[in-house]
Amino acid sequence: MVKARRHQRILDIVRSKPIKTQEDLAEELAREGIAVTQATISRDIKELRLIKAPVGDGSYRYTIPVDRNIEDINRRIERVFREAVMSIEDSENMVVVKTLEGAAQAVGAIIDDLDWPEVVGSLAGDDTILVVVKSAESTPEVMARFNKFRR
């Protein structure tokens, strides 16, 4: 689960700061208390499929490809669901996802990335995520998709 959390932090950092080198990324992670080796950063960049894009002054920065497709998101959520999700239950138009301690934020962010039209939003704590579904009729479909990720 450490890897999923680190990946989420990397994506957040790349979205919010101009990261030009692997060293810049390692320094940002270190500021957050996440120590990584250069080999780990390199592997993470490859797994997240980050690319270098021109900034405009002749330099480049890491960015998230615009064409990140649903297959990439699905692979990521399947891995995280298998590793971190302990249970999934529903009630009316809500789904409660229980995770390993400390994993709910990372899993919640991945659920948000799915951008399913049936889902209004999610709220993550330390080990629990509340997913609000637009209608009770859509809840079984959302549950089925979540459970599919756990296989």
The rounded average pLDDT for each run of 10 residues, N- to C-terminus, in the chain (151 residues) is: 83 91 95 92 88 84 73 76 94 96 86 87 94 97 93 81
Tokens for 8, please give them. 């989420």
Assess whether 90 and 142 both reside in one domain.
yes
Contact 48, 32 (CB under 8 A): no
Position 114: which residue type? L
Question: Is residue 58 domain-shared with residue 79, that is, in the same domain?
Answer: no
Domain count, the chain: 2
Both 85 and 142 in one domain: the answer is: yes
| pLDDT at 2 (0 to 100) | 80
Q: Are residues 12 and 33 in the same domain?
A: yes
Whole-number pLDDT of residue 111: 87
Quote the pLDDT of residue 69: 58
140 and 105 both lie in a single domain: yes
Q: What is the CATH number of the domain that holds 139?
A: 3.30.1360.40
Alpha-helical (H) ranges within the chain are 2-16, 22-31, 38-48, 70-84, 104-114, 139-149
* Residue 48 near residue 7, CB atoms below 8 Å: yes
Domain, as residue range, for 45 = 2-63
What is the reported pLDDT for 67? 58
Residue 68 confidence (pLDDT): 57
Contact of 59 with 52, CB cutoff 8 Å: no
Q: Residue 66: what pLDDT?
A: 66
| CA–CA gap between residue 110 and residue 96 (Å, rounded) | 15
